[in-house]
Amino acid sequence: MNKNILLFGPIGDFGGRELESGFVASILSTKYNVAICSSGTISKKSQAFAFDKNLKVFSVKQLLFDEYWVLKLLAYISFFKNFFKGEINSYVNSAIAKRFLSYDKKTRIILENLITDYDAIFVVAQLSSGLVSDAIKIAKRKNKKVLFRTTGTITFSDFDFINSVDYFIHHSINNSSRLEENKNHNHNYTIIDQCAYNEIDLFEIPTSDKKIFKFLILSRLSPEKGVQEIIDFFLRVCSENDILFIAGNGVLERDLKIKFKDLKNIKFLGFVKSSDLSALFEIIDCLIIPSPEESGPLVGIEAMCAGKIIISTKVGAMQERMIGSLNDYWFDNNNFESFRKVFFDVKKLNVMQIKKTSVSLKEKYKMEYSIHEISKKYLNIVDKVLYPCE
């Protein structure tokens, strides 16, 4: 009989965690009975459904909504007061519920009953994510296995549940080392990086064989991503024919569009759907990754699959990914001189150098980061945890 696995974490509607959760669930579903439980708010529009429309998905809030009529009543009142915005069950954690109706206690009861039905929980979250600690402690008390796929950059690791996790799965050695530094932890882990979910379309893009003029930043447009600084740097070094495409949305989108609206070297594309990503990569020559903190990022893997040269900060898993390729173009975060240098290093490449680098990136992706390779790694580690004696 197949064992039951519960993926758990703050899985919402849109983002890298949602795609990764859906992807992992689809892989594990080939061998196990899998469900996803969000500790936040999730709807039928979630990207967690991108790989399996029939995936069993629910949330802690939905379970609370269904179980306790008084929370349901309060949720409906809040839903009406907020003009029917969002999911009704997302309103169960009202201030009244938390103050007068033992909301936290009810949540723990829901988790106790839920985790009882599963052989393992597979957490997809940051270490500090809400309800993660509670879920892990309940799981261990019930002798359930716990796997933890860390998302985001680990900045603080002194949590009391670390030793209760059977196996951590990190994107990079860079991230795993943040836990290794704490000698109080028994930290069993493996490294499983990301893959390009649309790899078939990206891999079909021909290897690059022309000089570099078209650059791309694909990122959420928020202050911590370093996008505005790189636009400013780019404008100080670009030639008349160079173009920087900005793909993504976020809190800075409006201000950036206003600031750079009259500049022909900067083109804003807005949010780009995953189905349109290969078309975008086909027209650009070079990806720029400006962020100071990332666990991946996923766009770096996608660029490798497409064979596009990458200029990047030494963020997340990027340095490990480039080992063995000919792509060695780095700059320091928010440092104009280092960006200027690497920009002109890339601009000076001849067509043959560009093509060789493009080929090396595609080959590295195919050998280590393809969906096939990443899927095998997930299944192997889950098998190892659930069947340790085999």
Give me the pLDDT at residue 243, please: 98
Burial of 179 (0-12, 13-18, 19+ CB in 10 A): buried
Q: What is the reported pLDDT for 150?
A: 94
- How does strand 214-218 pair with strand 243-247? parallel
Residue 106 has pLDDT above 70, yes or no: yes
Could you give the strand order of the β-sheet that contains 309-312, starting from the edge strand earlier in sequence? 266-270, 243-247, 214-218, 286-289, 309-312
Rounded percentage of the chain residues whose pLDDT exceeds 70: 99
pLDDT given at position 74:
93
The CA-CA-CA angle for residues 79, 249, 327, to 5°, reads 140
pLDDT for 316-336, tens place per residue?
A: 999 999 999 999 999 999 999
In the chain, the domains with their CATH numbers are: 4-194+371-386 (3.40.50.2000), 199-368 (3.40.50.2000)
Task: Summarize pLDDT for 3-14 with one digit per residue, the tens.
Answer: 999 999 999 998
Tell me the pLDDT tens digit for each residue of 34-70.
Answer: 999 999 999 999 999 999 999 999 999 999 999 999 9
Higher pLDDT, 170 or 15: 170
Query: What's the mean pLDDT when you consider all of the chain?
Result: 94
